[in-house]
Structure 1
Amino acid sequence: MIIQIKGNVKYPITLDPSVWIFDDRKVKLEEAFNDTPPSNEEKIDSNSKLNKPPVNNSIKKYNKKELLENSYVMPIKEFIENAELNDNATEANLIMKENSERVSKEQLINSYMLFSIDGKQINDQGPAYLYFGDGSNQNNPIKGIKVIEII
């Protein structure tokens, strides 16, 4: 249950959403599309962690009960940046088991991937669902993505 990012990139990478529960970059689903800006404390905290992915600190921050009850999304932007899209990249082809869907580079970069529903991994059409950052597909996320092919 992995998702590959490949195509018009310098570094093809493989995403394993099953480990994101331990990553501090995750966001509760209900907070992902809020218009509320982060507090100053959160801004300072995120600026101090530049170039240091905040992985595994969440074990200290969250109690186990909270992790097992909430649904979480992961911003995909940092993963796309790590793959280093080539300058002429304009779109992404999201390849599923039986079909595909094209999205703009900007839509992809600003998207979230839902990887946990009520504290459980997504097995049905998983391992993650793609939500556009503007929330326009909140009622109909893109499911079953196997490959994100940058074009």
Structure 2
Amino acid sequence: MEEKIIHITGKVKFTITLDPGVWIFDDRRIDLNTYFDVETKEKDEIEEYTKAASKHWDREIMEGAVVPPTLKSEKRFEKVKVMTGTFGIPFHPFLKNAEPEDDASEIIIECVDQEVKVPIAEAESIIIGFSKDGKPLNEDGPAYIFYKDGSNKNEPIKHVREFKII
């Protein structure tokens, strides 16, 4: 049976073990069907919150309060989305938790048939794909690597086994 666990090792304070099978429950998951199509911008969180709150209050003053959809329908929608979606998760939080040493400069992404070197600064923005059409990546997984700019969205790095910090 093929190993479904991925490790972060090398010049780190903490060796991290990643299990892509549990990320479907993680709130940080990204829908890869739409992620590369939408232009991502760095947002000012306070400005975004202020605009959203202002819009909400304006609507309530003009239209009155709107009853939100039922929790049951939201859960059903989320369940269908999870069972049919293609998802990834940002690599940055895992790299941060591993605490790379100060002199670490690159990450080697070890795969079954290749090794890919990526500078740490660039690696912080990669996305780890973990499901396709609602199913785990059993055939050529357990994970795919996508660059945040989408340059390899059609040909991701496959068969990922380990991230080695050098």
User: What is the TM-score with the length of structure 1 in the denominator?
Assistant: 0.81
Amino acid at match of 1:7: G
Task: Extract unaligned runs of 5+ from structure 1.
Answer: 45-58
Deviation at 1:124, TM superposition (A): 1.3
Q: Which residue of 2 aligns with 1:28?
A: 31
Q: Which residue of 2 aligns with 1:51?
A: none
Deviation at 1:14, TM superposition (A): 0.6
Q: 1:92 to 1:125 in 2, by over 3 A?
A: same
Deviation at 1:62, TM superposition (A): 5.4
**Structure 1 vs Structure 2: percent identity of aligned residues?**
39
Q: Distance in 2 between matches of 1:36 and 1:100?
A: 29
Amino acid at match of 2:153: Q
Q: 1:88 to 1:29 in 2, by over 3 A?
A: same
Q: Which residue of 2 aligns with 1:10?
A: 13
Asked if structure 1 preserves the Cα contact closer than 8 Å seen for 2:83 and 2:133, the reply is yes
Do structure 1's residue 68 and structure 2's residue 83 form an aligned pair? yes
Do structure 1's residue 86 and structure 2's residue 89 form an aligned pair? no
Aligned counterparts, 1:1-151, within 5 A = 1-33=4-36, 34-37=38-41, 40=48, 63-151=78-166
Q: Distance in 1 between matches of 2:76 and 2:40?
A: 21
Deviation at 1:103, TM superposition (A): 1.1
Q: Distance in 1 between matches of 2:146 and 2:8?
A: 17
Task: Extract unaligned runs of 5+ from structure 2.
Answer: 53-73
Deviation at 1:137, TM superposition (A): 1.2
Deviation at 1:60, TM superposition (A): 5.4
Higher helix proportion (structure 1 or 2): 2
**Which structure's CA Rg is the greater one?**
2
User: What is the TM-score with the length of structure 2 in the denominator?
Assistant: 0.75
Amino acid at match of 1:118: D
Amino acid at match of 1:75: P
